Amino acid sequence: MGHRDNTAVSEARRRQRRFNLIVLAATGIIVILVFAYTFESILPPPSVVLPYYLDKCIPVAGDPVYVSYPAIQILISGQPYTIPADIGVSRTCVRPINTRGNTGVIHIDAFEERLYTVQDFFLVWGATYGSAYAIFNRNQLFLYKTDGQHNITMTVNGQPNFAYETQQFPTNANVTSLPYNIIISYG
Give the model confidence (pLDDT) of 157-169 as tens digits.
999 999 999 999 9
- Say which DSSP state 168 is in: B
Report, in angstroms and rounded to the nearest whole number, the Rg of the chain calculated over CA atoms.
28
Arithmetic mean of pLDDT over the chain: 88
Q: What is the pLDDT of residues 8-39, one digit of tens each?
A: 777 778 888 888 888 887 787 887 767 666 65
Buried-exposed string 55-83: b where 16+ CB fall within 10 A, e elsewhere: eeebeeeeebebebbbbbebeeeeeebeb
Q: Over pLDDT 70: what percentage of the chain?
A: 90
At 79-103, the pLDDT tens digits run 999 999 999 999 899 999 999 988 8
Question: Does pLDDT of 186 surpass 90?
Answer: yes
For the whole model, what pTM was predicted?
0.74
> Around Cβ 116, how many Cβ atoms within 10 Å?
23
Is the confidence at residue 1, as pLDDT, over 80? no
Phi/psi for 2 (5° steps) reads -65, -35
Q: Domain ranges in the chain?
A: 1-43, 66-186
Distance CA 159, CA 50 (A): 30
Looking at the predicted structure, is the pLDDT value of residue 176 above 90? no
Residue 44 pLDDT > 60, yes or no?
A: no
Q: How far is CA 136 from CA 65, 85, 145, 167, in A?
A: 27, 19, 10, 11
Q: Which residues of 139-165 are buried (b: 16+ CB within 10 A; e: fewer)?
A: eebbebeeeeeeebebebeeeebeebb
